[in-house]
Structure formats: structure tokens, C-alpha cells
Amino acid sequence: MSGGKHDAIAADSGPVTDHEYDGIREYDNPTPGWWKWVFGASIVFSVLYAVFFHASVYGWTVQDVWARQQTAYYKQVFGAVGELKTDEGTILSQMSNPEFMDVARATFVANCAACHKRDGGGDVGVNLCDDSYKNVEKVEDLFKVITDGAANGAMPSWKTRLSSNERVILAAYVASLRGTTPAAGKVAEGKVIAPWPKAPAPGAK
Ligand code: HEC
């Protein structure tokens, strides 16, 4: 259509499409070619992406990357010590190994805090900061409980989910929680046990 009061504007800004609705008309301004290409390419990419990451065996997930990096990290951290013993002396001496206690704290937060709270104060799981224990009399019992679980699985077994070294340093970490003050400690359960023995002198096995 032509004529009418819009022609002046139309003349300013290029061709006008040939439809008109209630007196409103439109410039013929198609999106540029490069824009259409980007649009089309992003659709193609999204299909390839979805197939590659969600439907093929070649894709990977952030969990895979994390697991790979964690394994590499543990190899590096534990590489020098090999397989730690699981006895009292080893567990006690790991309590004063700051690097391993950092690893153990992260492992605790990731796997144990859901039931025991980040600070060990207890929730579903028991308070690990007080002097009372249900399944523990000696420091090596911490390793046993972590390995085999307790109360018919209410405390799960970590034997297949954490390496022996991880369980040793976790036992040491849990031992070190004793005597700390959690934000909201659960009421003591079990019975009061003797203090941990002193750690052996460094180098002693
Ligand atoms: C699903 C909940 C849950 C998770 C996760 C959990 N625990 Fe427990 N834990 C419990 C419960 C419940 C008990 C008490 C068992 C009982 O009543 O004998 C317990 C007991 C323990 C005990 C013995 C305490 C005592 O008084 O005898 C230790 C040590 C312990 N947990 C350490 C850990 C560590 C380390 C982890 C992480 C690797 C962990 N727990 C993860 C629920 C959990």
C-alpha cells in the first residue's frame, strides 16, 4: 500500500513491507545474514552437544573430572607414605599431620557431615566431640567403625567407598574432634572412655 501520512518515514528508512494492520506498517528490516548464521549454528551446536554429552559414551561429566582430579590428588598426597598402617600409633601420629588433616577434613565434610555435622556435633549421627562413645574404646576402634559401620548400617560402612588411607586419616581426624566444642552438640551417648594415649615420638612405628 502506498500513500498516507507514513510515507515520509518510510522514505527515510528503506523499504516497507506490503502489509498494514490498523494503519500500522512495518519496515522491511530482515535480521542480517551473519545473525541468521549464528542462530542456525547455535541450534546445530546444541543438538551435537546434547547427543555428545547426554547420549554418547564419549561425553564426560563434571563428576568425572572431579573424580579424576581427586584420584590424582590422593596419589600425590599419599604417594610418599604408601599404605598407612591402621594401628593406634599410626592413627595418633597422623593427628599432628596438618596436610593429611586438611584432606581428612574435606573428606569428612563431603561424606560424614550430613549425619555428624561439619563440626562433629552430631545430628542423625552421634556427637563426635564429647568424651562418650558407643562403639569406641580405643583409638583404633574409630578406624573399625568407619570401616565396618555400626548399628546395622545406621552408621554406614566406608570400606568400599573410601581407601584404607582415607579411613586411617579420618579416624585421626575424628579423634582430633574429641574435646572440641561444636556449635550445637548432640547429647552424649554411650559411655565415657579414657583419654587417647599420647602420640608416639615422630619416626617411631
Ligand atoms: C547416614 C548417616 C551417617 C553418616 C553419613 C556417617 N555416620 Fe557415623 N554414625 C552414624 C550413626 C547413626 C552413628 C551411631 C551408631 C550407633 O548408634 O552405634 C555413627 C557413629 C559413628 C562413629 C562411632 C561413634 C561412637 O560413639 O561409637 C564414628 C567414629 C563415626 N560415626 C564416624 C563417621 C565418619 C568418619 C563418617 C564419614 C566417613 C560417618 N561417620 C558418616 C551415622 C552416620
Q: Which pLDDT tens digit goes with each residue over 105-163? A: 989 999 999 999 999 999 999 999 999 999 999 999 999 999 999 999 999 999 999 99
Q: How far is the CA of 112 from the centre of ligand 1 (A)?
A: 7
Domains identified in the chain and CATH numbers: 84-192 (1.10.760.10)
The ligand 1 atom nearest the CA atom of 170 = 35
Segment 168-193 mean pLDDT: 96
Average pLDDT across the chain, whole number = 89
State in Å, rounded, how far the first CA of the chain is from the last one.
98
Whether 111 lines ligand 1, by a CB cut-off of 6 Å, is yes
Q: What is the pLDDT of residue 204?
A: 52
pLDDT band at 63 (very low <50, low <70, confident <90, very high): confident
Percent of the chain topping pLDDT 90: 70
- Report whether residue 163 contacts ligand 1, using a CB cutoff of 6 Å: no
Candidates 162, 130, 158, 127; CA nearest to 144 is 158
Testing ligand 1's pocket by substitution, the residue of 94, 107, 117, 126 carrying the most ligand atoms inside 8 A of its CB is 126
pLDDT tens per residue across span 32-42: 999 999 999 99
Residue with cell 549464528: 38
CA 126 – ligand 1 centroid, Å:
6
Question: Rounded to the nearest 5°, which phi and psi values hold at 18?
Answer: -95, 15
Cα 84 to Cα 74, 88, 101, 143, 188, distances in angstroms? 13, 11, 14, 12, 31
What are φ and ψ of residue 54, in 5° steps? -110, -20
Decide: 124 in ligand 1 pocket, CB within 6 A: yes
Whether residue 2 has pLDDT greater than 50: no
What percent of the chain stands above pLDDT 70?
91
> Which residues touch 191 (CB under 8 Å, ≥6 apart)?
132, 133, 134
- Measured from the CA of 189, which atom of ligand 1 is nearest? 26
| ∠ Cα 19 22 27 (to 5°) | 40
Is 60 exceeded by the pLDDT of residue 76? yes
Tell me the whole-structure pTM to 2 decimals: 0.73
Q: Considering only CA atoms, which of 85, 99, 98 is closest in space to residue 167?
A: 85
Q: Is 6 in contact with 15 (CB distance < 8 Å)?
A: no
Whether residue 171 has its Cβ less than 6 Å from ligand 1: no
